[in-house]
Amino acid sequence: MTPDQFVAQVQKQGPAAAYLFLGPEAFQRDRCRRALLDAVLPAEEREDGYTSHDLSQITLAEALDDARALSLFASHRVIWLGAAETLLPRGRATKAESEDDGESAKQTPGAALQEYLKGPTPGTTIVFDANRWDFDNENKTKIEALTTLLSAVPAIEFRPFSPMEARRLAQDLAKKVNLQLGLAELGVLIEALGFDAARISCEIEKLSLYAGTTRKVTVGDIAELVPNAQQTTIFALVAALARNDRQRSLELLDTLVRDGEYLPLVLTFVATQFRYALVAQEAKLRSAGDIQAHFTKIGIRMWRDRAEQVAETMAAFPKAKLEKALRLVFETDVAFRDARPDDRIMMERLILSLA
């Protein structure tokens, strides 16, 4: 079940006796949590009707006993069971093992839950919250095993937002608070925040308080207010190198170092910018629109504002200088992996060679 389906269900049909919340995405989880509380608990019962337990601290049997108990102070209850991952026995992550026959099956979390669901407490909803695992690599197997173990309850998956979904969310949130956020600034914001929906929501609220509704948010506002918005500074570094502005380039490197940016990642971004510009030059592309269309055609999703950045880099760097820059970037990358004084000195050498 998707978060949207969950919200629609609890609003139209009311909540089920229990749910399993799966995945690390925080924005949609909070939205579903608020929708569930609104559907189950009237405002006057919210304080007494909400109970939170950590399944790494108590057993499932104790949590279910609490769910069976009637409250003297609230006619409806939501019982939030965190750390649901601990219900999965260590080394037993297969469907067959979670469906053992015989007396031992009665001791499993799945069997205990099924027993409770035969006669759930009216007005009480249990949420099993498993937010530590994502849906990739070895965690995928663990999530499938936990879903099988708790197959008696509906599972809601909280997957990370795609870049397109994150961009659409940011536009909707900015519109809701009347924040004047241009497409270029929007692209900088969501990439700086790693397409994290919860952080996007928080930073848009912060920007709305800072900039208000009377003026447009600038890239400088984002760089100043948003943590880890160093991409703006990195692009400024590329632009300074294009102008042969050695002093400004070193100043921007100093800013990145003071902000705690991991310099190999800075080098990766610089290398990507140069490679895109070289590809655009070799393809004889002339405008940001041509660049965006070309890279999308070959399978590289690119926003309009990023295409404009590539166009600026392509215009500032002749082909020979781009090729030299990529050779120097490669040498710097090799130096990062070898015995050297420190990463900053390697980056300074790169800047001195280019500007």
* Among 150, 46, 10, 36, residue whose Cα is nearest residue 88: 150
Mean pLDDT value of segment 220-226: 75
Which uninterrupted H or E stretch holds 119? none
Lowest mean pLDDT among 73-87, 294-308, 313-327: 294-308
Checking if the pLDDT of 101 tops 90, the result is no
Task: Note the pLDDT of residue 100.
Answer: 47
Q: Which two tokens stand for residue 250?
A: 């070193």
Whether residue 92 is predicted with pLDDT greater than 60 in this model: the reply is no
Q: How far is CA 132 from CA 6, 84, 233, in A?
A: 20, 9, 32
Question: Residue 123: left if φ>0, alpha if ψ -120 to 50, beta else—which one?
Answer: left
DSSP secondary structure string for all residues of 171-237: HHHHHHTT-B--HHHHHHHHHHTTT-HHHHHHHHHHHHHHHTTTSB--HHHHHHHSTT-HHHHHHHH
Helix axes 304-316, 263-282, angle to 10 degrees: 80
Tell me the average pLDDT across 104-127: 83
Share of the chain above pLDDT 70, in %: 91
Helix axes 263-282, 246-258, angle to 10 degrees: 140
The angle, 0 to 180 degrees and rounded to 10, between the axes of the packed helices 230-242 and 263-282 is 50
Q: How far from 92 is each of 23, 84, 87, 96, 98, CA to CA, in Å?
A: 20, 15, 11, 9, 8
- 198-211 pLDDT, tens per residue? 889 998 998 999 88
Radius of gyration of the chain (CA): 26
The pLDDT of 9-15, averaged and rounded, is 92
35-68 pLDDT, tens digit per residue, is 999 999 888 888 889 999 999 899 999 999 999 9
| Of residues 166 and 228, more confidently modeled | 166
Which pLDDT value is given to residue 312?
Answer: 82
Name which of 284-288, 303-307, 346-350 the model is least confident about.
303-307
N- to C-terminal Cα separation, the chain: 54
Q: pLDDT band for position 341 (50/70/90)?
A: low
pTM: 0.64
Out of 53-57, 254-258, 312-316, pick the least confident.
Answer: 254-258
- Burial of 178 by CB count in 10 Å (0-12 exposed, 13-18 middle, 19+ buried)? exposed
Q: Which of 192-196, 228-232, 280-284, 312-316 has the lowest mean pLDDT?
A: 228-232
Asked whether the beta carbons of 6 and 32 are under 8 A apart, the reply is yes
Q: Check if the beta carbon of residue 291 is closer than 8 Å to that of residue 311.
A: yes
Task: With a cut of 80, say whether residue 102 has pLDDT above it.
Answer: no
Provide the mean pLDDT of the chain.
Answer: 84
In the chain, count H helices and then E strands.
18, 5
For residue 183, count other CB atoms closer than 10 A to its CB. 13
pLDDT of 119:
92
Residue 98 pLDDT > 50: no
Residue 104: which pLDDT band, with cuts at 50, 70 and 90? very low
Residue 232 has what pLDDT? Answer: 62
Q: How confident is the model at residue 95 (pLDDT cuts 50, 70, 90)?
A: very low
| Cβ atoms of residues 181 and 174 within 8 Å | yes
Residue 91 has pLDDT above 60, yes or no: no
Average pLDDT over residues 142-166: 91
pLDDT, position 88: 86
**Res 137 pLDDT > 70:** no
> Residue 333: which residues within 8 A CB-CB, separation 6 or more?
264, 267, 271
Cβ–Cβ under 8 Å, residues 98 and 159: no
User: Higher model confidence: residue 125 or residue 354?
Assistant: 125
| 225 or 120, which is more confident | 120
- Work out the pLDDT band at 188, boundaries 50, 70, 90: confident
Residues linked to residue 19 through DSSP beta bridges, in sequence order: 127
State the average pLDDT over residues 175-197.
83
State how far the alpha carbon of 54 is from the alpha carbons of 87, 126, 149, in Å: 11, 13, 18
User: What pLDDT score does 105 carry?
Assistant: 42
